[in-house]
Structure formats: structure tokens, C-alpha cells
Chain A
């Protein structure tokens, strides 16, 4: 699969604009990165031993090479690409969950696929939406923790990769992640009661 040069240029430019603070650029990146991220997600899920930490970076790097004008590789560009990918993945998934909720009010029974058996329930969609909202609240309180969760949960990055990406020590990421998880878990379980 090759991406046309025009798309590469556009992605590169938009990433640049986004990293300079142009929030709208992310919205425009969305449709351009979408198919590649789909491939990424599919690729990731079909891996033999899932959860292997180095794969996400490898796949993201591959997506990056596909999507970005890499005639002159810029490390900063790659960094922003990974951040954008995680953020876009979050948008896409939360959006899907929301649509799912609005269409399936009153359903609730288990539905099953013909061949791959992804199980869709109201609960899962609602949980994803709750998590997203809790993550918003966390961002207000502590942006870095929120970003670590976004990178890890939506971007699929390992602790090591997150540390490398945020230029933090592995230990710091581990600590922040632990605290963020505890906080989010509490937020979500409080909503339940």
C-alpha cells in the first residue's frame, strides 16, 4: 500500500500546523490518517503474540513512513505523529461508541458476529464513554497523566515507548501511569454506584 505524495505532503503540513498549536489541523488530519490507522489496528490485532511491547512503535513507524513526506525525516514530526495517532484513535473509538449507544437504546442482549465474534454490548460502549469523560477531567487536573493514558490506552504504546516519547524516565511514566489508573478507576467505580 502506498500513499500518494499529495497525501503525504498534506499530512506533513498538517502535523506541522498542529504542533504549532493549530487545533483545527487535527480535524483535517483525521480523514487522511484514518485508513492507515485502520490498517494499523487490524495489523495489531492480528499479531501472533499480542501485547508485545515493541510492535506498536514498529507499526506506528510504518504508518508514519507511509503517511509523511519522509524525504527529509524530522524526528519531531514522528513524535507529533504518534501523539496525533493516539488522539485520533481516541476520537474515532469514542465516536463509534457514542453512535452505537444512540442507535441501540433498549437493546442490551448479546449480539454475536458471524465470524470473528467481537461482542458488542451497551456496557462496553458506555464504559468507553465514561472513561473518555474521566480522562477529560484528569486532563484539567493533570495534563501529563492524561496524556500518558491516552498514549498507552488509545495509542497502544508500552511504558518504554511512552517514556521515550515523552522524554521521561521509565520509572516516572510507571509512577504516573499507576496514579492515573487508580484515579480513573475510582472515578469510574464511583459513577457506577
Chain B
């Protein structure tokens, strides 16, 4: 193709991609005119793009590691080692290459593992290699790899074993989590292999998916006793002493194996016994049923930290279909204290076996029920059905691994998963949109209470309002197999609701229905739709779930209407004062009209709690009490209402900072809200307030799986990274937010804040220049002012602030006083000290007004401290900043706690107390901290260099050192 034509093709391809799919044809019509060839070319690229999925996204040496460089390559193929003829290299492991070979004496296939030349001179490696063979050959069990021979040919050491056709459990897990039953099928065999090993006094010590092979016939083989230890024969009652002591083996303190599957005692480098294998099997099991390992970390040391300190997310929160008994078995296997774990593998194996038996009985029963009597084989031979599914899983894994170029992730979406998309408002009156939103949300909420379904949260689906994307794409983005679309038409007291259930992959309709009802009858429509979908997707409903679906939240249509209006405000992005106030107003109206409306009370409490915490409402004592009462009322009306229990948890978390109680309520709410991302989200918030950053991140990840496009969740996760000074990760998370809501002012402003913290004022300026935050977006506005101050040319921002403060919005409360402080600071930097003093005096008046009714507002107190500092009142400034630290001690709140400390450091810097300032700054730079100003980015050496408030410290050598230090992120 000629270069200019090629460029045109690529250009058109890229331009077409930027358009919505349905607009592309028209665009190409116009752009290609009569050039049919060009059009075909572009269209075929577009089709390929759609299909390419994750084609070549994974680097080659990871996707096809067998071709990646290794020391010996395939040079040995065809050679004879002992009586084994090498046929091909089949893999490279940590301990050497593995070849497929033919045993020329016995005429059978064998796997031959060779210790690399370079290691045969290494005494430790050689012993490890021989030890592996000896320990493995000492064990004779159908689930343990059979060792044929250990030998040496010249310098080459080898082990010959049976050759297994199958895949590793790791490969089988590539396609996602397994059913509890398949996992049991595998887990029981592994446990049984371990029981034989432990019985012979051997601890495996490296149980992980890579060391477990699954054959297509369902047989499982445990491999690699490479670091296993042949322990002294000890009485069974004295298991803890069955530990390692061989001089050739791992010394205590030398950590071997893969971090993720290590037991806590192994991670600490302590002596291990059989109970360490029990732990590792628990980890593998957890990964099989959830698709995700229980303990993770960016680096091995992060991972180890998680193993030692973190509690894994409950299995049921990720895979609600896992039987409770299996969950409790895993919990016991994963007790950090060895004495609380199963003491022997037999004990665990026994429980697994009996669960498996029960499971199979139930399964054959439910198959009888659901399939009718026609499928006799399924009833008579349930085991066979399981085997078939296992084989299917293995084959699927093989296909995935083999055709790594063409993996289609959408194919793996759970059949019982659904996203309820926003309903179209067909009413003549466009202001009825809230009503359509409300119906959608009600149906979604009902579905989400069915544990057998995977339902995507509303916060992720609400962006699909415009019908611009193909169902298959939406399905892929949200990871669901089914979509519900609908429309609502409301005229006077009549409602028409139309719904269609769609299979996302091929856009086929599974079910559609139109309901014409009176407005008072709207709940029955919501119940019927939810029930029909549950039936269509073959979801199993518990009696309680049936009730919940059929529930009528209120009998008062007006109260319901007010509730829907309030709900619509909570669906908007951002905790801006305007949104929070709107929601609060309508929800109060709803409970006034129907004081028995429990869901409305719960939502009111939740809105109040968030407003109190984020200061988007004025955090008065009165608000705090209202929050608690609303939650209590909701619970009194309906003790089993998940939303009410959640609200109670929020009251304890947000208003009282009583974290244990909050976690208790969140966990309790989980059983009623199995699909809610709010549970892990809330737990993530609590964990980080407690300074448990790793644990918090795990919860964030869990919540994002349930709710992948929830911008507020993504934003909070990004802020966690920011607070930990993990700026590149924070920026990427914010990018994810921008993918959902492009050009979002607050997100771009936060990214600018990070650029400021990194000392890149040019980048920050470029990000901020196009933004024009409205007067009530004080956060973004202050980032702009701070930028001007850091650049030390605040003229333009001074006039913008003057303009805004000419007509202050009373709803913004103390924020007006805060803006006034910024105005004073900007004027001061501009050299207009008289005007600055005037602004600060005014700011003092505006802030002091709120002090009495908002005794917990640390930002208000901090602002006032900075104002008094600026006015030169040293005593007052110190007193106030100390008061702020007392209101919010660091021990109570690892997120916001550092902000008052930063205020203290600023006061000390300005008020001639360099020693105290520097000591405080040293501390602040060493901990994750949310900043006290503007974007809330933590202080960094770059900000210390740039911020004029620290000018008095510039000549101090200790301060200079701080500005140069590299701050480690955590």
C-alpha cells in the first residue's frame, strides 16, 4: 500500500474509533466517498479491533515463556541420558529444565528433569535436587507424582518421573474461579496426597497451583517436593516438632518458595511443620473458589506483610455461592496462629470429604428438580457430571493457554450475572427522569439482594444512559452475561413500564414484557420484574429473598415520589454540598409523608453520615444526632433491612469513629446485601482510617470487581494512593475515573494537585488552565489558587476570588471563610499586605461563627489557626492548631489525622519556632498523610521547596535537607 493511502486508512480507522459505533457507518460513507476499497480496508480493521480483545497485550516472555531465553535451549534433544532418549524440552522450572523422554528399556514415556550444569557444582543445589527425588520416591500415592529413577550421566544429574498429560492448576485457573464443587474435587485429592506425605514424615512446604497438575480425566497429581523436608519420624501427637533441621535444607531465616502461598511461620523464616501445608492448601483453595489469592501485594514483601497481618476478604463476599461450611473450613485452615488451625491434614480432609459428599447429594437432587426426569445419567451418575465439568474446565484452560492470542474474556462471564441499565424516560414531561431512574434502581436493588445472582451496582451502570454502545461491549466492560434495558412512561397516575432482558454476547432477547399499571401499583411491577429475571436466569431464591423481592417499601405514593427524587441526587457524582443538600431535603420529605418508610430513613442516615464525614454538610452536633436517629428508626422499623444495618455502620464509622462497631455492622449487612460493593468499600474506608493501608487496598480491589465503573469508589482508591505518596498509581486510578467521566473538573484538578506535589508546576498549570470550576467547587478552586501561590504570581486568581466572595453562598458555610483565607494569602504573596490583613480579619469573623456548633470540624479549626497565624497572633495560632490535633488524633484517624499536624508545622514555621516546625515536618514526611490544604496532597520535598509559607525556614540546613530528601512512598 502506498504510504499516503496507508496513512489515510489509519487516520480514518482512528477517527472512526473515536465515534460511537452507530455513527461510524455514516462517517465512513462521507469520508470514503466512492472509494470502496478504502472503506473495506477501514472496516476490516475496525472489525479486527473489536475482536482483538487482549491480543498481544501480555508481553511475549510472559505469554509464551517456553520460548523465552534459557541457558541450554533445546541442545539436548535427540541425546541419550541414561537409558532415556530426550525428545523435547517441555518446560523450564526453578530447578532446571524438564524434557519429554522415552525410556528405551521399557518403551514408555517419561519426564526427565535435569539439574543445570551450573548448579551441579553447587553443593546446596545438588542436595536439594537429590532430596527432592528421594522424598518424592519415598511416597507412593495415586495423587503424588511417581518417581521412576534418580541418576547421573557424567556431570548431568537427572530425575525420571511419570509423564503427566494435563495442565497445572495455575493454567486451569487462568479462565477464572471454579465452582465450589470442582474445587472440592481437586482439593480433596491434594489433601489426600498431603496426608500420605505427612504420614511418611514429609512436609511439602511449597504447595501452590504451579505444583498441582490436573489431568483431563480429573486425576490430580501433586508435584515438586523440591523443598520438601523429610522430617524425623515423630509420633503423630507431636506434630509441631516435625520440622526442618537438616543442615542441607533451608535454614531458618532463609525464605524459599512463592510468597503468596507461604504460611505466616514460613514467611517469618521460622520452623515449619505439617500445619504449614494446611495453610498453603487453604490459600490454594481460596484462590480456586474466588479466582483471587487471599493475600496479595505489589512486591513479595508487601505480600508477606499481608500474610502476617491482614485478614482475607470473606470468600462469600467474592463468591456468594460457596457453601458456608467450605468457608468455615478455609477460615480454620487460614488461622495465623498454628494452634488454632487444623492440627492434622486428616482432620481437614475428613471435613472436606463429608462436605463433598453432602454437596454431591444436594447436587443430584437439584439436578433432578431442575432438569426433570429426562436426564437419567445426571441423576444416576452425578460423579460423572462433575468429572465432565472438570474435564471441561481443564480443556477450557488448555484452550485459553494454547490460543493465548485469541482469548475472549467475555466468554467467561458468569451466566447468572446481570447489569440493569438506566431506564429511558418516555414521559412527555422530561422532569420525570428521576422516576425512570428510581424504577431502575428499585429493580436493581431487589435483584442485588439475591445471593445467587451477580448484579452490578448502579454506580457502575448509570454511565450507560446514552445508547451508544453495543450490548456485547457493555457486557464485556462490566463483566456480565445479561443486560436489562427498560423504559418508563408516566402520565398522571398511570405508568407504563417496558423491560427487555438481553443476552449481552449476541444481543438476543431472553424475555420482554410491558406493564400498564396505576402509579400506586408500581411496586408490584418492580417485584414482578425482579422475580421474572431471577427465574429467567435460574437463580435460586431463599424464602427470605422471595420476601425481600416482593416487599413494598411504602404505601404512600407521594412519599415514594419524594424518595425517588432524593435517591436521584445520591446517584450524582461527588459529595458536593449541592447534591447532598438536595438528597437530604427530599428524603426528609419522604419520611415526613410516611414515617414508617424504613428504606428512606436508612438512605437519609447514610446521606447525613457521608455529609458529616466529608464536610459537604455542616458537621454540627445536631447533624450527628439526626444521623444516629435516622439509622435507629430504620432498624426499628425493619431489623433485617440491609440498608438500615449499613447506615448504622456508617453512623459509627463517620460520626463516632468507632471502628470496631462499624465493621461489625458492615459484616452483618453483608448477608442481606450480598452483591453490594458498599460493603467492601466501607471496609476499605475503615481499614485506611486505622492505618491498615494494605488491607484497605484489598477491600478496594474487591469493591471494584463488583462495581468496576463507580467513579466515587475509584476516586477514593486513587486518593488512598495519593495519601501514600504512590503518585503514579494515583494518577492511573484517576485516569480510570476520566475514562468514565471525561473532563471531570475535580479529577483533573486532583491530578494537577499531584503534579504540584511532584514539583512539576508546568504540568499542573497545563492541567488547570482549561478548568473553570464553579464557585461552589471550592476544592478545585483552591488547587488553582495554590498553583498561583506556588508560582508566586497570584494576580489573576485574586480577582476571581474577589468576584466569588462578593456574593458568598451561605450554604457553603465555613468554606467561605476558608476561601477568604486563601484570598488573603494570595494578596500577601502579591505584596499587597494591607489587603491581605483585611481579608484575614474578615476570614476570622466568618470562621469563628461556626466554631461553636462544629466542634469536631478539624478543617475549620485548622483554617482558623492559619488565619490567626497570618494575623500574627502566635498564642492563638498555636492553641488552635493544638486543638485541631486533639479533635482528630492521628491514632484515631490515619487519613485525616495528619492534616492538623501539617497546620501545626506551618504555624511553627511562620511563628519563629523552626525546631518544632522541622521536627514536625520530619514526622509528616515519613507517614502517609492527607494534606491540610487545597488538593489534600501530602507534603513532599518539592512542596517544601515551593510553598512560600515555609520561606522562614529556607536558611536552616535541616530544612534544606528535608527539601532534598527522597520521600519513600508506601
Residue ranges of A at the interface with B (Cβ–Cβ < 8 Å):
34-35, 37-38, 41, 44-45, 48-52, 54, 56, 89-90, 92-94, 96-97, 99-100, 103-104, 107, 109-121, 123-125, 127-128, 131, 141-142, 149, 152-156, 175, 178-179, 181-186, 188-189
Residue B98 interfacial (CB < 8 Å): yes
Check A92/B95 contact, CB under 8 A, given A115-B226, A128-B60: no
Distance (Å) between the CB of B94 and the closest chain A CB? 7
Cβ–Cβ < 8 Å partners of B166 in chain A = 110, 112
Cβ–Cβ < 8 Å partners of B171 in chain A = 117, 119
Check A186/B61 contact, CB under 8 A, given A103-B77, A112-B165: no
Give the residue name and chain of the A residue nearest to B403 (CB).
A123
- Is there an interface contact between A125 and B67, defined as CB atoms closer than 8 Å? yes
Cβ–Cβ < 8 Å partners of A189 in chain B = 48, 51
- Is there an interface contact between B74 and A103, defined as CB atoms closer than 8 Å? yes
With contacts A115-B211, A124-B67, A181-B55 known, what are 17 further pairs, Cβ within 8 A?
A: A37-B69, A89-B61, A97-B67, A99-B73, A100-B89, A111-B100, A114-B161, A116-B92, A116-B94, A117-B213, A142-B6, A179-B13, A179-B45, A182-B13, A182-B46, A182-B48, A186-B48
Check A178/B17 contact, CB under 8 A, given A93-B60, A117-B213: yes
Give the residue name and chain of the A residue nearest to B206 (CB).
A115
- Is there an interface contact between B88 and A104, defined as CB atoms closer than 8 Å? yes
Distance (Å) between the CB of B823 and the closest chain A CB? 37
- Is there an interface contact between A153 and B93, defined as CB atoms closer than 8 Å? no
Cβ–Cβ < 8 Å partners of B68 in chain A = 38, 41, 45, 89, 92-93, 96
Distance (Å) between the CB of A58 and the closest chain B CB? 11
Q: Can you list 18 residue pairs at the A/B interface with Cβ under 8 Å?
A: A35-B71, A52-B298, A93-B69, A100-B89, A112-B90, A112-B165, A113-B93, A114-B91, A114-B145, A115-B224, A119-B66, A119-B398, A120-B90, A124-B402, A141-B6, A178-B49, A179-B45, A181-B55
Cβ–Cβ < 8 Å partners of A100 in chain B = 66-67, 74, 88-89
Check A156/B61 contact, CB under 8 A, given A112-B213, A114-B111, A115-B211: yes
Residue B359 interfacial (CB < 8 Å): no
Q: At the interface, is chain B mostly helix, strand, loop or mixed?
A: mixed
The residue that A44 contacts in the complex, of B62, B296, B297, with Cβ under 8 A, is: B62
Check A152/B45 contact, CB under 8 A, given A96-B74, A123-B403: no
Interface mask (B771-787 → A, CB under 8 Å = 1, otherwise 0)? 00000000000000000
- Is there an interface contact between A153 and B60, defined as CB atoms closer than 8 Å? yes
Cβ–Cβ < 8 Å partners of A155 in chain B = 59
Check A114/B402 contact, CB under 8 A, given A178-B49, A186-B48: no
Cβ–Cβ < 8 Å partners of A110 in chain B = 165-167, 398
Check A179/B14 contact, CB under 8 A, given A120-B66, A155-B59: yes
Cβ–Cβ < 8 Å partners of A125 in chain B = 67
Cβ–Cβ < 8 Å partners of A153 in chain B = 56, 59-60
Within B725-784, which residues are at the interface with A (CB < 8 Å)? Answer: 728
Check A185/B62 contact, CB under 8 A, given A54-B728, A115-B95: no
**Cα A97 to Cα B89 with chains together (Å):** 12
- Is there an interface contact between B62 and A50, defined as CB atoms closer than 8 Å? yes
Distance (Å) between the CB of B671 and the closest chain A CB? 31
**Cα A136 to Cα B754 with chains together (Å):** 41
**Cα A110 to Cα B210 with chains together (Å):** 17
Q: At the interface, is chain A mostly helix, strand, loop or mixed?
A: helix
The residue that A115 contacts in the complex, of B17, B223, B299, B728, with Cβ under 8 A, is: B223
Interface mask (B206-224 → A, CB under 8 Å = 1, otherwise 0)? 0000110100000000011
Residue B874 interfacial (CB < 8 Å): no
Residue B309 interfacial (CB < 8 Å): no
Distance (Å) between the CB of A102 and the closest chain B CB? 10
The residue that A99 contacts in the complex, of B74, B299, B403, with Cβ under 8 A, is: B74
Give the residue name and chain of the A residue nearest to B71 (CB).
A38
Residue B303 interfacial (CB < 8 Å): yes
Cβ–Cβ < 8 Å partners of A152 in chain B = 56, 59
Give the residue name and chain of the B residue nearest to A135 (CB).
B56
- Is there an interface contact between B90 and A118, defined as CB atoms closer than 8 Å? yes
Cβ–Cβ < 8 Å partners of B69 in chain A = 34, 37-38, 41, 89, 92-93, 96
Interface mask (B69-84 → A, CB under 8 Å = 1, otherwise 0)? 1110110010000000
Check A112/B91 contact, CB under 8 A, given A141-B6, A175-B14, A183-B45: yes
**Cα A124 to Cα B48 with chains together (Å):** 20
- Is there an interface contact between A38 and B64, defined as CB atoms closer than 8 Å? no
Check A115/B67 contact, CB under 8 A, given A185-B55, A188-B405: no
Pairs A-B, 8 closest by C-beta atoms = A113-B91, A117-B168, A156-B59, A186-B48, A182-B49, A96-B67, A116-B93, A115-B93
- Is there an interface contact between A103 and B88, defined as CB atoms closer than 8 Å? yes
Distance (Å) between the CB of A46 and the closest chain B CB? 8
Cβ–Cβ < 8 Å partners of B402 in chain A = 119, 121, 123-124
- Which of B45, B67, B298 has most chain A Cβ within 10 Å? B67
Residue B65 interfacial (CB < 8 Å): yes
Cβ–Cβ < 8 Å partners of B168 in chain A = 112, 116-117
Residue B401 interfacial (CB < 8 Å): yes
Give the residue name and chain of the A residue nearest to B401 (CB).
A119
- Is there an interface contact between A41 and B65, defined as CB atoms closer than 8 Å? yes
**Cα A16 to Cα B342 with chains together (Å):** 62
- Is there an interface contact between A112 and B49, defined as CB atoms closer than 8 Å? no
Residue B1 interfacial (CB < 8 Å): yes
**Cα A130 to Cα B187 with chains together (Å):** 39
Check A128/B64 contact, CB under 8 A, given A49-B298, A113-B91, A178-B17: yes
Residue B901 interfacial (CB < 8 Å): no
Cβ–Cβ < 8 Å partners of A156 in chain B = 59-62
Cβ–Cβ < 8 Å partners of A50 in chain B = 62
